[in-house]
Amino acid sequence: MSLGTISTIIDEHKIATVSFYHHASNSFPSSLLEKLTLEITNLSISNAVSVIILKSEGNGAFCAGASFDELLSITTETDGNLFFSGFANVINAMRKCSKPIIGRIHGKAVGGGVGLASACDYTFATTNSAVKLSEIAIGIGPFVIEPAVSRKIGKTAFTEMTLSPTKWKSAHWANEKGLFTEVFETIETLDEQLLRFAKELATYNPEALVELKKVVWENTENWDSLLYERAAISGRLVLSEFTKQALEKFKK
């Protein structure tokens, strides 16, 4: 259970609901990142799927980002690079996916969780879905996810989030900046509206959806190399003395 789980259900409307879970606030160890990347890649080429919903389990956090335990276990730059490349792999898989991806952001998102939400094509959230980029507080930064986040909210808002790593931004703020498409008071209302939207989207011409996805993600082809260059930065910084001390402090 410590490795987390990925599960997918495909319904009669050709809607694939991908759910991820980890006991530590739905955070991601590298093994879970690999599974999610593979799942998105496989669904992209499946004729049984027209639309993908990405969600996490439970009523707590949507996603707490990188696994804290795995960050503590990194001892070499190579290991650090590989770990942060896991987020690069997921974001690139979502970017290249031929199917529109709807994000169900039911709760708070931190770090990599904000990156996942940003890589979705349309997002439903609740008023409890506050967001935060806390990476610089432990001596690294949201380098890998920055292109996805900035694409949605712009460099100015990204900078605001990054340089105030202990401050939560409200769901309404995220909605105004473009990270969240729609925000609802309750999870029940969110799920009702999300399913209605997904069912309608799944009735549209699948070929048109494929072409639209290409248009929406135009001019991001350099992410095939950029995100891995960014992963190398994080992989180096996670071994810094500052980060080691910060992680130990948080651990205690």
Contact (CB, 8 A) for 97 and 43: yes
How far apart are alpha carbons 206 and 173 in whole angstroms?
Answer: 33
Phi, psi of 117, deg, nearest 5 = -60, -40
Query: How big is the chain by its Cα radius of gyration, in Å?
Result: 17
How far apart are alpha carbons 79 and 82 in whole angstroms?
Answer: 5
- Specify the pTM: 0.96
Query: Roughly what angle, to the nearest 10 degrees, separates helices 146-162 and 112-119?
Result: 130
CA 231 to mean position of chain CA atoms:
15
The answer as to CATH 3.30.365.10 being correct for domain 5-201 is no
What pairing do the DSSP bridges indicate for beta strands 5-10 and 15-21?
antiparallel
* 252 residues of the chain, pLDDT tens digit each: 468 999 999 999 999 999 999 999 999 999 999 999 999 999 999 999 999 999 999 999 999 999 988 998 999 999 999 999 999 999 999 999 999 999 999 999 999 999 999 999 999 999 999 999 999 999 999 999 999 999 999 999 999 999 999 999 999 999 999 999 999 999 999 999 999 999 999 999 999 999 999 999 999 999 999 999 999 999 999 999 999 888 888 776
The CA–CA distances, whole Å, from 119 to 73, 90, 203 equal 27, 9, 23
Map out the domains of the chain as residue ranges. 5-201
